[in-house]
């Protein structure tokens, strides 16, 4: 059994930052493939996640402004395997701001990936509907 990632709410997990590696792409996070398989419902190389560091005082950005990372599995034969022995998250070495966060707790949110799954049509319809309602209210205010 692996210590991480631990599910805290449906499709939201916590883990630790294990380190950085050149084997991981800039828009990817790597996690021990067996840990992902045993502890999560994440589909490797398909699921996208947004991340937030526990205790980070920066405001949580709106959905469309968050950085999304593809979750990739780290296999035994990879050099970065030792960084994710217990299911820790490994980032690309190109991401400078993570290098000083090794060992910190990170929240891995895959809810949007499973709920929206790159089908933004319902989101776009909702935004258009909201704009139409706002436009209608503005017209009413102008008349009065």
Burial of 93 (0-12, 13-18, 19+ CB in 10 A): middle
| 97 pLDDT tier (thresholds 50, 70, 90) | confident
User: Is there a domain that residue 131 lies in?
Assistant: no
| 144 pLDDT tier (thresholds 50, 70, 90) | low
User: Is there a domain that residue 76 lies in?
Assistant: yes
User: Is there a domain that residue 137 lies in?
Assistant: no
Contact 48, 69 (CB under 8 A): yes
Q: How many domains does the chain have?
A: 1
| 39 pLDDT tier (thresholds 50, 70, 90) | very high
Question: Domain residues for 77?
Answer: 6-116
Q: Span 75-96, mean pLDDT?
A: 94
User: Is there a domain that residue 140 lies in?
Assistant: no
| Average pLDDT taken over every residue of the chain | 85
State the Cα–Cα distance between residues 69 and 48, nearest whole angstrom. 5
β-strand partners of 90: 19, 30
User: Is there a domain that residue 139 lies in?
Assistant: no
| 121 pLDDT tier (thresholds 50, 70, 90) | low
CATH number, position 56: 2.40.40
**Mean pLDDT lowest among 20-34, 65-79, 111-125:** 111-125
User: Is there a domain that residue 134 lies in?
Assistant: no
User: Is there a domain that residue 1 lies in?
Assistant: no
User: Is there a domain that residue 59 lies in?
Assistant: yes
What is the reported pLDDT for 45? 92
């Amino acid at each position: 059994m692996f210590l991480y990632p631990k599910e805290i709410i449906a499709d939201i997990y916590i883990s630790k930052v294990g380190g950085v590696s050149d084997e991981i792409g800039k828009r990817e996070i790597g996690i021990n493939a067996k840990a992902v398989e045993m502890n999560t419902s994440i589909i490797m190389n398909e699921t996208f996640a947004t991340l937030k560091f526990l205790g980070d005082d920066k405001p949580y950005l709106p959905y469309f402004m968050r950085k999304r990372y593809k979750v990739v599995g780290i296999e035994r034969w990879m050099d970065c395997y030792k960084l994710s022995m217990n299911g820790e998250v490994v980032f690309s070495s190109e991401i400078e701001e993570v290098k000083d966060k090794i060992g910190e707790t990170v929240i891995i949110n895959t809810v949007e990936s499973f709920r929206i799954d790159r089908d933004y049509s319902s989101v776009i319809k909702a935004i258009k509907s909201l704009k139409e309602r706002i436009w209608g209210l503005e017209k009413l205010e102008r008349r009065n």
